[in-house]
Amino acid sequence: MTLLNETHDPSLRSWVDSANQEGCDFPIQNLPFAVFCRQDEENAMRGGVAIGDQVLDLAALQRLRPFIGLAAEALEAASQPYLNLLMSMGPSAWSALRLALSRALREGAEDAEAFAQCLVPMAEVRYDLPCVIGDYTDFYSSIHHATAVGKLFRPDNPLLPNYKWVPIGYHGRASSIDVSGQAFHRPQGQVKAPDAAEPSLAPSRRLDYELEMGILVGTGNELGAPISMTQAEDQIFGLCLLNDWSARDLQAWEYQPLGPFLAKSFASTISPWIVTLEALAPFRQAFTRPEGDPAPLPYLDSEHNRAQGALDIELECCLQTAGMAEQGLAPQQLARSNFRHSYWTPAQMVTHHSVNGCNLMPGDLLGTGTQSGPLPEEAGSLLELTQGGKQPLKLDNGEERLFLEDGDTVVMRGFCEAPGAVRIGFGEVRGTVLPARRREGE
């Protein structure tokens, strides 16, 4: 488990000026990892760390051999085109690298001039997935989302009996995950209107986003060796933003009895920057349950988790329609929420996932499920904001939405603030809906 250390010191400032600006997502206290290259490069993906409006090129840094010991080993791993090796090295390696980077980027750092040669402006880079994602699991950890969605299907009985006991999750599709900027064709699939005699193949008309966090697994576990709550946080490399696009009409027709399938597997988008669990240490909160709710079963409980298992991460979801883009309007905020409302903590998700012996691997992605807050306006999906597609959402430019239209771009952001800590951010995850592809013969 991660404690506060010198890298969190709020008085630290970087020799990269932009990192010291108020409201910057990437001050020296953050130091998230991504995989990137310059926009004009091919086959040159490598690890990078965000600092202000710059990316510190870890492959370039590595060539300077600036660190020794574990930090040097971790830097070498982090300079690769995928971060799986870094992720597999565990918290002491991550922590050594973070400390070395923090010292290298601080005001007054000895070799700042040499390190400055390793900076690339963010405006000039493109990103790739930070790692090979072997398996993707999506949880359902917001009780507010589960209740709101449950109400649409079962008004009298919105929450199923297992919800408060089991961190509900399901296996997702790894191949269709891409990094921020993903543009995908509106999926087609079988849909059946309640009054239709038969289903038909059609482009989804109830296309939605889901505002989620993604948890990137670090070292992982051997098959058959469950991860206990005391080990769980050491298994988490970091968190990112995740938009788990969903086709609600496909889902309604296909999901019984084995769960969502094609309604989810056409695209999922994550932010490029992985904020380490260590960077999130100042934003931990007590994990509590509403009065009267059952305590987690012992295998999902620990004193540490109760004391500081929750993470205070403010989330927002914005929409920019094609019309807004044409008019030069910025994305409009649809909702805000916060990951601290989650009914299960990241540690509980990791522990539950492996309790049957299932092996988690470095780079595996755990989605938290849609993070809706307790208030209706804190809903993390259009399904909730429009009451199941019945109440149009009025946008500032006069447009309306029940679900996503072609040309819509969804932008999600996340950041952390706490008294006595420097604000850190996740950057953004952005994705765009393209029109459905025409089928052969159309």
Stretch that binds a second copy, among 91-99, 105-113, 258-266, 409-417 (CB under 8 A): 258-266
Using CB under 8 A as the binding rule, the residues of this chain from 107 to 146 that contact a second copy are 134-138, 140
In the residue annotation, 144 being an active-site residue is answered as: no
**Nearest distance in Å: CB 416, a second copy:** 29
Separation between Cα atoms, residue 392 and residue 358, nearest integer Å: 43
If one asks whether residue 233 binds a second copy (CB under 8 A), the answer comes out as: no
- Asked if residue 171 binds a second copy (CB under 8 A), the reply is yes
Residue 358 is given by DSSP the state: P
| Contact window for a second copy (CB under 8 A) among 52-60, 104-112, 189-197, 419-427 | 189-197
- DSSP letter, residue 49: E
Q: For 25-133, list the strands marked E by DSSP.
A: 33-38, 46-51, 54-57, 119-121, 125-128
CA atoms within 13 A on the CB side of 333: 9
User: Interface residues for a second copy in 19-78 (CB under 8 A)?
Assistant: none
Q: Which of 4, 44, 225, 375 binds a second copy (CB under 8 A)?
A: 225
Q: To which H or E segment does residue 114 belong?
A: helix 112-116
For the beta sheet containing 119-121, the strands, ordered from the edge strand earlier in sequence to the opposite edge, are: 119-121, 54-57, 46-51, 33-38, 125-128
Cβ atoms within 10 Å, residue 75? 25
Q: Give me the least distance between CB of 387 and a second copy, in Å please.
A: 19
Q: Among residues 120 and 202, whose Cβ is nearest to a second copy?
A: 202
At closest approach, how far in Å is the CB of 221 from a second copy? 10
289 lies in the site for a second copy, by CB under 8 A: no
Among 90, 187, 214, 309, binds a second copy (CB under 8 A): 187
Tell whether residue 147 is a contact of a second copy (CB under 8 A). no
Contact segment (CB under 8 A) with a second copy among 7-15, 175-183, 233-241, 320-328 equals 175-183
Residues 225 and 229: their CA atoms lie apart, in Å, by 13
Contact 210, 246 (CB under 8 A): yes
43 CB-contact burial (10 Å; exposed 0-12 / middle 13-18 / buried 19+): exposed
Structure tokens at 105: 């980027």
CA 336 – CA 219 distance, rounded (Å): 32
Q: How far is the CB of 363 from a second copy (least distance, A)?
A: 11
Of 173, 221, 218, the residue nearest 358 (C-alpha): 221
Return d(Cα 78, Cα 47) in angstroms, integer. Answer: 5
Asked whether position 430 contacts a second copy by CB under 8 A, the answer is: no
Site for a second copy contains 152 (CB under 8 A): no
Question: Does the protein bind a second copy through residue 292 (CB under 8 A)?
Answer: no
d(CA 200, CA 257) in angstroms, rounded, equals 20
Contact characters 293-332, a second copy, x per CB under 8 A:
-x--xxx---------------------------------
Q: Which two tokens stand for residue 423?
A: 């604000």
The active-site residue out of 8, 144, 145, 341 is 145
The catalytic residue positions are 145
* Residues found near a second copy in the complex (CB under 8 A): 134-138, 140, 150, 160, 162, 165-166, 168-176, 178, 184-185, 187-190, 192, 198-201, 223-226, 228, 247, 250, 253-263, 265-267, 294, 297-299, 352-353, 355-361, 364, 437, 439-440
